[in-house]
């Protein structure tokens, strides 16, 4: 059974969502940052960064959400969650890289300077720059977004969950989402697997 460590609405949600889509058994371990769970010796042995998500699959411990998603898709996706090698795979890698490095990073900058960093290290004025960066990245993603149901056509891929979750995060951060991306976010987040993942992790955190 896959063990997932995280909090319900963090990057761990993209992992729990994919686990539900894959239909494999998994167990959730709630990490309470307010209580300092992420700074315990046992958790730091899993991830010295003290961050979530983390998964344990047998003897393998893996961190970094995009890497975890690729691993799960390769091992348990039965060839349906990653495109075949070639042009489609190249486009998929491009989306993965863009989402992580361009679209998500301004959001994480906002989060770090609002709640994640020690208070003495927060610079509230950086938010304006982060908003500008996000708007620029979102406009490009809006232009790239195809008219097909998913990023690479008719079949959902890992990058779709990654993008949809990042857009949900942006919504929580009260960012303006361009109309095509907003419709895409709403369509993807309505999938039953996403609701199951959120329900399961939220229940564990209570």
Per residue in 23-45, pLDDT (tens digit) is 999 999 999 888 988 999 999 99
Contact 16, 200 (CB under 8 A): yes
List the beta strands (DSSP E) in the chain: 2-6, 26-30, 54-57, 60-63
**Mean pLDDT, to the nearest integer, of 55-61?**
97
On the CB side of 184, CA atoms within 13 Å amount to 27
Contact 94, 163 (CB under 8 A): no
Same topology between domain 2-80+193-204 and domain 87-191: no
Average pLDDT, the chain: 95
Q: Say yes or no to pLDDT of 63 above 90.
A: yes
Hey, where are the domains in the chain?
2-80+193-204, 87-191
In which residue are the tokens 């990654």 written?
162
So what's the pLDDT on residue 205?
76
CATH number of 87-191: 1.10.357.10, 3.40.50.720, 1.20.1050.10, 2.40.160.10? 1.20.1050.10
Contact 3, 53 (CB under 8 A): no
Q: What's 34's DSSP letter?
A: T
So what's the pLDDT on residue 136?
98
- pTM of the full predicted structure? 0.94
In which residue are the tokens 């990023």 written?
151
**What's phi and psi for 66, nearest 5 deg?**
-65, -40
Confidence of residue 52 (pLDDT cuts 50, 70, 90): very high
Residue burial 122-148, b: 16+ Cβ < 10 Å; e: rest: eeeeebeebbebbeebbeebeeeeeee
- Tell me the percentage of the chain whose pLDDT exceeds 90: 89
So what's the pLDDT on residue 72?
98
Contact 107, 166 (CB under 8 A): yes
**Mean pLDDT, to the nearest integer, of 100-116?**
94
So what's the pLDDT on residue 115?
87
Alpha carbon distance 164, 50 (integer Å): 25
Q: Say yes or no to pLDDT of 206 above 80.
A: no
Q: Say yes or no to pLDDT of 116 above 90.
A: no
Query: What are the residues whose beta carbons fall under 8 Å from the beta carbon of 140, sequence distance 6 or more?
Result: 98, 102
**Mean pLDDT, to the nearest integer, of 156-170?**
97
So what's the pLDDT on residue 34?
86
Residue burial 73-111, b: 16+ Cβ < 10 Å; e: rest: beebbeeebbbeeeeeeebbeebbebbbebbbebbbbbb
Tell me, rounded to whole angstroms, the distance of Cα 43 from its chain centroid. Answer: 20
CATH topology of domain 2-80+193-204: Glutaredoxin (3.40.30)
Confidence of residue 93 (pLDDT cuts 50, 70, 90): very high
**Mean pLDDT, to the nearest integer, of 92-119?**
94
pLDDT digits (tens, 9 = 90+) for 69-90: 999 999 999 889 999 989 999 9
Is the peptide bond preceding residue 68 cis, with omega within 30 degrees of 0?
no
């Amino acid at each position: 059974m896959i063990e997932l460590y995280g909090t319900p609405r963090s990057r761990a949600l993209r992992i729990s969502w994919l686990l539900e889509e894959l239909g494999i058994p998994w167990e959730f371990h709630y990490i309470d940052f307010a209580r300092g769970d992420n700074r315990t010796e046992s958790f730091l042995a899993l991830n010295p960064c003290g961050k979530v998500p983390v998964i344990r699959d047998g003897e393998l411990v893996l961190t970094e959400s995009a890497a975890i998603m690729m691993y799960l898709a390769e091992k348990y996706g039965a060839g349906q969650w990653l495109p075949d090698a070639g042009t489609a795979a190249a486009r998929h890698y491009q989306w993965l890289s863009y989402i992580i490095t361009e679209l998500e990073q301004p959001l994480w900058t906002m989060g770090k300077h609002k709640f994640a960093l020690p208070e003495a290290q927060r610079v509230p004025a950086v938010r304006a720059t982060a908003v500008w960066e996000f708007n620029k990245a979102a406009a490009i993603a809006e232009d790239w977004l195809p008219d097909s149901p998913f990023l690479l056509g008719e079949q959902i891929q890992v990058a779709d969950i990654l993008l949809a979750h990042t857009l949900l995060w942006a919504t929580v951060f009260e960012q303006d989402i361009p109309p095509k991306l907003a419709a895409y976010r709403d369509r993807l987040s309505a999938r039953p697997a996403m609701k199951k993942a959120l329900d399961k992790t939220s229940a564990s955190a209570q």
